[in-house]
Amino acid sequence: MSDIEFRDAVAVVTGGAGGIGRALGARLSAEGARVALVDLDEAAAAAAAAETGAAVGLGADVGDETSLRAMIDRVEGDLGTIDIYCSNAGVATGGGLGEDGDWEVSWRVHALAHVHAARVLMPGMAARGSGVFVVTASAAGLLMLMQSAPYTVTKHAAVAIAEWLAVRHGGSGVQVHCLCPQGVRTPMLEGDSGGRSEVGSSGRILEPDQVAGEVIVAIRENRFLVLPHPEVHDYETAKVADRDRWLGGMRRLLSRLGQ
Ligand SMILES: NC(=O)c1ccc[n+]([C@@H]2O[C@H](COP(=O)([O-])OP(=O)(O)OC[C@H]3O[C@@H](n4cnc5c(N)ncnc54)[C@H](O)[C@@H]3O)[C@@H](O)[C@H]2O)c1
């Protein structure tokens, strides 16, 4: 169990203008945290903050280290030392193998954003012996989104970064969590018909608030992996047990979807 105290904790949620990030911010605010919702879309972040009880909505590009550092400085200046950081922003780009630009943005937002935030925040959290760092990866980071190589590969990177942080810093009182949902009803899923049919074919579509609730429970239990779709554990177990069989099953699913 965790001794985390949400009341008056300072929390940052990136990708906070909508979807899972907005729901996470709302849950954390309801728990009494002082939340900064951060998004590329500053006006949407400010609107989401006003609607969900967050302390502030800010604009920043978490794929850009300078912008991310300026955002962290601003939050710490205005609200105080960051206790909870949810590195949640994400992009759906690049069908198939994608273009180089799809890889570039996916790498920046799904991998480097976590690294840059951890570089700034982890030393202080480790020195204080407390802090929570949540990486939103995806079930695609454990398994695959057949529709997109850039998404799949960079979400695998996100899982690996979270595991690395958990090993390096998890023993010092810092909590690291990795969120790996399948389908969640958000603007990202709604705007991506290929991804929607693939995700919809393999499981239930959850509401963002359900996913945010699972994150709060995992933080309280100090449990690394957050699987709002528990069946993902069985899929991953099957993959590791027999990769050829798993690949064959994925090929059959791909041909059923006609993609
Ligand atoms: N919706 C799903 O089915 C699903 C499943 C698994 C994982 N995820 C992951 O959950 C996270 C949240 O996604 P969502 O489904 O809520 O989608 P969403 O599109 O509603 O939210 C993503 C937010 O991130 C913001 N963003 C993108 N690039 C940014 C950047 N460089 N800097 C700051 N903000 C940026 C967007 O403006 C957007 O508001 C993502 O990491 C996504 O990959 C989503």
Do residues 4 and 175 touch, judged by C-beta distance below 8 A? yes
State whether the beta carbon of 146 lies less than 6 angstroms from ligand 1.
Answer: no
Active site residue 235: no
pLDDT in tens, 69-111: 999 999 999 999 999 999 999 999 879 999 999 999 999 999 9
Determine the Cα–Cα distance for residues 6 and 34; give it in Å rounded to an integer.
Answer: 9
Judge whether 14 and 62 are in contact, CB under 8 Å. yes
Query: Would you say residue 240 has pLDDT above 90?
Result: yes
Tokens 């239930």 appear where? Answer: 204
Tokens representing 43 are 């006006």
Tell me what pLDDT residue 197 has: 66
CB atoms within 10 A of CB 1: 7
Instruction: Give, to the nearest 10 degrees, the angle between helix 113-128 and helix 65-78.
Output: 40
Q: Is the per-residue pLDDT at 9 higher than 90? A: yes
* CB-ligand 1 contact for 84 (6 Å cutoff): no
Residue recorded with tokens 């907005």? 22
Domain boundaries, the chain: 10-233
What is the rounded average pLDDT of the residues 154-164?
Answer: 98
Q: pLDDT above 70 covers what percent of the chain?
A: 96
Higher pLDDT, 3 or 257: 257
CATH class of 10-233: alpha beta
Dihedral sign for Cα atoms in the order 10, 16, 21, 27:
positive
Question: According to the model, what pLDDT value does residue 2 have?
Answer: 76
pLDDT tier at 193 (50, 70, 90 boundaries)? low
Both tokens assigned to 44: 């949407």
**Alpha-carbon gap, residue 125 to 122, rounded angstroms:** 5
Query: pTM of this prediction?
Result: 0.97
6, 85, 133, 151: the active-site residue: 151
* Residue 151 Cα: closest atom of ligand 1: 43
Over residues 41-67, the mean pLDDT reads 98
Residues 169-189 have a mean pLDDT of 94
Q: How far is the CA of 245 from the centre of ligand 1 (A)?
A: 31
